[in-house]
Amino acid sequence: MTTRARPVRSRTARRPRPRILLGLVVALVAALTPTALTPTALTPPAQAAPVLLSQGRPATASSTENAGTPAGAAVDGDTGTRWSSAFSDPQWLQVDLGVRATLSQVTLAWEGAHARAFQIQTSDDGSTWRTVWSTTAGTGGTQTVPVTGSGRYVRMYGTARATGYGYSLWEFQVYGETGAAPTCGATNAAQGRPATASSVESGGLPASAAVDGDPGTRWASAAADPQWLRVDLGGVRALCRVVLSWEAAYARAFQIQASDDGSAWRTVWSTTAGTGGTQTLAVTGTGRYVRMYGTARSTGYGYSLWEFQVNTTDGGTVDPVEPTDPRNPNLGPNTYVFDPSTPTATIQSRLDSLFDQQETNQFGPQRYAVLFKPGSYTADVNLGFFTQVAGLGLSPDDVNLNGHVRVEADWFGGNATQNFWRAAENLSVTLPAGVLVERWAVSQAAPYRRMHLRGAQNQIQLWNGGDGWSSGGLMADTRIDGLVVSGSQQQWYSRNSEFGNGWTGSVWNMVFQGVAGAPPPHFPNPSHTVIAQTPKIREKPFLYVDGTGEYRVFVPALRTNSTGTSWYGRAPAGSSISLSQFYVVRPGTSAATVNAALAQGRHLLFTPGVHHVTEPIRVDRADTVILGLGLATIQADNGTVAMRVADVDGVKVAGIMFEAGQTTSPVLMEVGPPGSSADHAANPVSLHDVFFRIGGPGVGRATNTLTINSDDVIGDHMWLWRADHGDGVGWTVNTADTGLTVNGDDVTTYGLFVEHYQKYQTVWNGNGGRTYFYQNEMPYDPPNQAAWMNGATRGYAAYKVADQVTSHQAWGLGSYCYFNVNPSVVADRAIEVPNNPNVRFTNMVTVSLGGVGTINRVVNTTGGTANTANQVVYLTNYP
């Protein structure tokens, strides 16, 4: 929805705004305000004598107009550079003072695009903010604001712009006192941290040898200029000293540089007359990454360091990366592990109390996982919101529950269309004697995965059994000995499963892929799309306990052209990783600590809860496994990106939900940086049960939600949802342009759900893409047609394949409209594609839900109109 077609144009490239000469600005401000915009004007009154704390400190912002107007330009002391934001409200600029300070005043030197209403806020942690000054009558020019308060972080939080442009500041200056000067610590913050280098002379002289604390080992580079050695401190630190112990091959000219992201570098010390030996350098700056950047060698050899030491003035934000005991791991307070010796009454009491709490708790922060070690149990598992039940066996049949694992919709009058966010995995279920029906009445984000419902006489019902509707779900790697009855399910995706007595039922869009016992192909009425095999899939990783009592994570192998389950009647193929190789992330752990664990080569296991991050979780190592329990949720605060995955092989992200915070994030998750091009066909990145939410518990905002830049990525059940109900919901409240943007080639999605975004729901820019099952609802809430126009086109398509794409295929797509704010709104088309014989769509349906709103065509100008008179329209093939 954000992106229209490749190449993607940024929102910052929209107006040819001429750069006004600074002198003219100074003259104008001098004429309009008591104080002119000059360096003198930005100096506090002499009698107050406060200290300027913000200059040169790390600055971040909710957005930037373009690369030439970064946040750092407002704290660089240069009145000719500026920060400017995107053209929307709210926006903020934030500076990290490094330490907690007592504040006395803030000076804002506005460009013409100033704030009419804004607040000055402080925070100790960059997350919880206190307002220390505010106005709704901002004057622009240079505003010197007296403030009383304290904090490490200070920000301008703008809520109303004075112009149609964004917010723009030449300088943002914070004054106050920090007490005694900080002491430069004696601890070597670089020792044992991950180190990389531009090159190595040989395998025996690695980058890590310069940070191992051993003066007898060294790093040496190739014999060329320039070369560098970099260390990752794990979090942004306040730097005060760097010590270099050179071997004879030292640098004549070099710089010490710092960076917050390992990409944009600041020079904090430099020389062209290096002396070699041991050099102790006093530096001032901040950064997570520190490097020696050599530009001229003193010898004909390369650069060589025995040790590279970094000292800081703060303790940093990185907690120790604790080890994980694989036999007795701390899985957090919201994970319950039962074994066969646990009394049945104890188990049932816990299950009942969780259901009582979670039955209607759709938007609360509570998250739970209930895990059963191998054995047999008697239990009735009635799953409420944000509850996962799972077996800890290597096979689902290693754990058998005599009873139920079920989902009902009684709380909503039998209507299951809001039964989201719960999961059953890796279990076998034997129904009580005389009971022949299991009920799994769910809609989105409720996987029934790697399950075995025993008994050929039994059936599983995918709705509440006689009343209400249900609205889509997933069954994968599952065996049902009996019959599957879909009832009022509107759409459903079944993959690599086995139905002993088949399937019955159809409403709009049922897709079966690699399923033994699937019904015959027929479309429409019944709307059964049947695909014989799954071309390439890796099943979701899962936690289990081996025969010795050790917790491990099993990573299923990649399968090609597969049918049926990965486990029934066969040994599952794959690899097993001890939980000792995982860092167990519990709520309250900082992103810096998580990143430190990743940098040490650890995998991640997120325990149930909401995990707040103020910087991206960076997954840079191939084959990293990130597994969540209990629908563990990562919330992006302060406009950060929640997770970035490098363009590397084989990363697996599974069982994680991403939540937008109140400040707009550019994207919640990014797989591969822009321009990624590596071939991952033999070992793709895979995303399993990965869900996204924007709004619902409260205001959430993100421009894009999931962007896939890497090639060959597999999406295995994803729901991207801009909330249509709950708190913090409205056309101008939980703003989000686009759900999924695919820029990589040969990306495949199985079971893709994308709903309610304000522009395109899905934009596919890469070649060779494939989607098997697509479920979409357009935004409910356009206030009128004028608010939802794509140029001359009414509305935005639910599925957009970019004009330059030459190959793409999709099977089993449904798009629905329900324009309940203004039923006169029209979407001109559900699917928009280039006319190319290699861009092919099979079995599509559009629905005007209750006849509220109109979808004019199915694909481009083909297909009938779904509206009040004709609410359901089918199209079998395009072209």
Q: What is the 3-state secondary structure (H, E, C) of 309-353?
A: EEEECCCCCCCCCCCCCCCCCCCCCCEEEECCCCCHHHHHHHHHH
Cα–Cα distance measured from residue 648 to residue 679, given in angstroms and rounded to the nearest whole number: 9
Categorize the per-residue pLDDT at 179 as very low, low, confident or very high, splitting at 50, 70 and 90: low
Cα–Cα distance measured from residue 618 to residue 670, given in angstroms and rounded to the nearest whole number: 10
Tell me how far CA of residue 248 lies from CA of 222, 251, 280, 305, 353, in angstroms: 15, 9, 17, 9, 69
| Range of weakest confidence among 535-549, 588-602, 677-691, 807-821 | 588-602
Residue recorded with tokens 């097993």: 576
Cβ 164 vs Cβ 137: under 8 Å: no
Q: If you write DSSP's letter for every residue of 175-215 in order, what string do you get?
A: EEE--SPPPPPSS-TTTTS-EEES--SSTTS-GGGGGSS-T
Tell me how far CA of residue 520 lies from CA of 501, 505, 804, 841, in angstroms: 13, 12, 36, 20
- Name the amino acid, one letter, at 235: G
Cα–Cα distance measured from residue 832 to residue 328, given in angstroms and rounded to the nearest whole number: 53
Radius of gyration of the chain (CA): 29
> Is pLDDT of 457 > 60?
yes
Cα–Cα distance measured from residue 490 to residue 138, given in angstroms and rounded to the nearest whole number: 52
Cα–Cα distance measured from residue 192 to residue 232, given in angstroms and rounded to the nearest whole number: 10
Categorize the per-residue pLDDT at 575 as very low, low, confident or very high, splitting at 50, 70 and 90: very high
Cα–Cα distance measured from residue 719 to residue 696, given in angstroms and rounded to the nearest whole number: 15
Q: Collect all residues with Cβ–Cβ distance below 8 Å to 516 and sequence separation of at least 6.
A: 497, 498, 499, 563, 564
Kindly report the three-state secondary structure assignment for every residue of 67-125.
Answer: CCCCHHHHHCCCCCCCEECCCCCCEEEEEEEEEEEEEEEEEEEECCCCEEEEEEEEECC
Q: What percent of the chain has pLDDT over 70?
A: 93
Quote the distance between the C-alpha of residue 825 and its chain's center: 32
| Range of weakest confidence among 153-157, 257-261, 426-430 | 257-261
Cβ 479 vs Cβ 427: under 8 Å: no
Quote the distance between the C-alpha of residue 655 and its chain's center: 12
- What does the pLDDT read at residue 319? 62
- What does the pLDDT read at residue 328? 95
- Name the amino acid, one letter, at 275: T
Each residue's pLDDT tens digit, 402-424: 999 999 999 999 999 999 999 99
Sheet holding 437-439, edge to edge: 437-439, 459-461, 483-485, 503-504
Q: Is 360 helix (H, G, I), strand (E, B) or coil?
A: coil
Burial-class residue 349 by CB neighbours within 10 Å (0-12, 13-18, 19+).
exposed
Residue recorded with tokens 């019955």: 504
Q: What is the DSSP letter of 579?
A: G
Mean pLDDT of 708-734: 98
> Is pLDDT of 316 > 60?
no
Mean pLDDT of 552-564: 98
From 531, 416, 490, 456, select the one nearest 770 (Cα to Cα): 531
> Is pLDDT of 437 > 60?
yes
From 843, 842, 875, 841, select the one nearest 858 (Cα to Cα): 875
- What does the pLDDT read at residue 41? 32
Q: Is 250 helix (H, G, I), strand (E, B) or coil?
A: coil
Cα–Cα distance measured from residue 346 to residue 854, given in angstroms and rounded to the nearest whole number: 53
Each residue's pLDDT tens digit, 515-543: 999 999 999 999 999 999 999 999 999 99
- What does the pLDDT read at residue 182? 61
Kindly tell me the number of DSSP H helices and DSSP E strands found in the chain. Answer: 3, 63
Q: What is the DSSP letter of 775?
A: E
Mean pLDDT, the chain, as a whole number?
Answer: 91
Categorize the per-residue pLDDT at 43 as very low, low, confident or very high, splitting at 50, 70 and 90: very low
Categorize the per-residue pLDDT at 50 as very low, low, confident or very high, splitting at 50, 70 and 90: low
Cα–Cα distance measured from residue 233 to residue 445, given in angstroms and rounded to the nearest whole number: 37
Mean pLDDT of 828-837: 97
From 398, 401, 397, select the one nearest 389 (Cα to Cα): 401
Residue 712 tokens, joined: 């060959």
Mean pLDDT of 838-843: 98
| 779-785-788 Cα angle (round to 5) | 50
Q: What is the DSSP letter of 769?
A: E
Q: How many CB atoms lie within 10 A of CB 682?
A: 9
Cα–Cα distance measured from residue 405 to residue 423, given in angstroms and rounded to the nearest whole number: 10
| Range of weakest confidence among 40-44, 196-200, 330-334, 849-853 | 40-44
> Is pLDDT of 29 > 90?
no
The helix (run of H) or strand (run of E) holding residue 628 is strand 625-636
Categorize the per-residue pLDDT at 19 as very low, low, confident or very high, splitting at 50, 70 and 90: very low
The b/e string for 356-381 (b: 16+ C-beta within 10 A; e otherwise) is ebbbebbbeebbbbbbbbbbebebbb
Q: What are phi and psi of 836, to 5 degrees?
A: -145, 130
> Is pLDDT of 260 > 80?
yes
Tell me how far CA of residue 301 lies from CA of 200, 202, 222, 223, 244, in angstroms: 12, 13, 7, 5, 18
Mean pLDDT of 311-323: 70
- What does the pLDDT read at residue 151? 83
Mean pLDDT of 390-395: 98
Q: Is 248 helix (H, G, I), strand (E, B) or coil?
A: coil
From 476, 605, 472, select the one nearest 551 (Cα to Cα): 605
Cα–Cα distance measured from residue 370 to residue 347, given in angstroms and rounded to the nearest whole number: 10
Cα–Cα distance measured from residue 464 to residue 441, given in angstroms and rounded to the nearest whole number: 5
Cα–Cα distance measured from residue 160 to residue 189, given in angstroms and rounded to the nearest whole number: 43
| Range of weakest confidence among 15-29, 184-198, 280-294, 711-725 | 15-29
Cα–Cα distance measured from residue 317 to residue 314, given in angstroms and rounded to the nearest whole number: 9
Categorize the per-residue pLDDT at 498 as very low, low, confident or very high, splitting at 50, 70 and 90: very high
Q: Which long-range contacts does 63-66 make (Cβ < 8 Å, 24+ apart)?
A: 63/88, 63/91, 63/166, 63/639, 63/664, 63/666, 64/12, 65/12, 65/166, 65/168, 66/10, 66/12, 66/13
- What does the pLDDT read at residue 327? 96
Each residue's pLDDT tens digit, 325-380: 999 999 999 999 999 999 999 999 999 999 999 999 999 999 999 999 999 999 99
From 379, 381, 474, select the one nearest 420 (Cα to Cα): 474
Tell me how far CA of residue 531 lies from CA of 88, 474, 520, 562, 749, in angstroms: 45, 15, 10, 11, 14
> Is pLDDT of 826 > 70?
yes
From 330, 298, 307, select the one nearest 214 (Cα to Cα): 307
> Is pLDDT of 747 > 80?
yes
- Name the amino acid, one letter, at 431: L
Each residue's pLDDT tens digit, 188-218: 899 888 899 999 999 899 999 999 888 899 9
Tell me how far CA of residue 555 lies from CA of 389, 543, 577, 653, 681, in angstroms: 19, 9, 8, 11, 17
From 853, 850, 877, select the one nearest 865 (Cα to Cα): 853
Mean pLDDT of 739-759: 98
- What does the pLDDT read at residue 3? 30
- What does the pLDDT read at residue 131? 86
Cβ 513 vs Cβ 494: under 8 Å: yes
Q: Is 681 helix (H, G, I), strand (E, B) or coil?
A: coil
> Is pLDDT of 40 > 50?
no
Q: What are phi and psi of 69, to 5 degrees?
A: -130, 60
- What does the pLDDT read at residue 302? 97
Residues labelled as active-site residues: 777
| Range of weakest confidence among 25-34, 93-102, 491-500, 697-706 | 25-34
The helix (run of H) or strand (run of E) holding residue 772 is strand 769-777
- What does the pLDDT read at residue 22? 31
Q: What is the DSSP letter of 441?
A: -
Each residue's pLDDT tens digit, 637-671: 989 999 999 999 999 999 999 999 999 999 999 99
Residue 108 tokens, joined: 């804002």
From 691, 756, 755, 747, select the one nearest 717 (Cα to Cα): 691
Each residue's pLDDT tens digit, 85-117: 999 999 999 999 987 788 889 999 999 999 999
Cα–Cα distance measured from residue 368 to residue 355, given in angstroms and rounded to the nearest whole number: 10
**CA atoms within a 13 Å half-sphere pointing along the CA-CB vector of 663:** 26
From 88, 201, 106, select the one nearest 147 (Cα to Cα): 106
CA distance from start to end of the chain: 23
Cβ 578 vs Cβ 605: under 8 Å: no
- Name the amino acid, one letter, at 399: V
Residue recorded with tokens 């944000």: 386
Strand partners, 677: none
From 123, 89, 120, select the one nearest 107 (Cα to Cα): 120
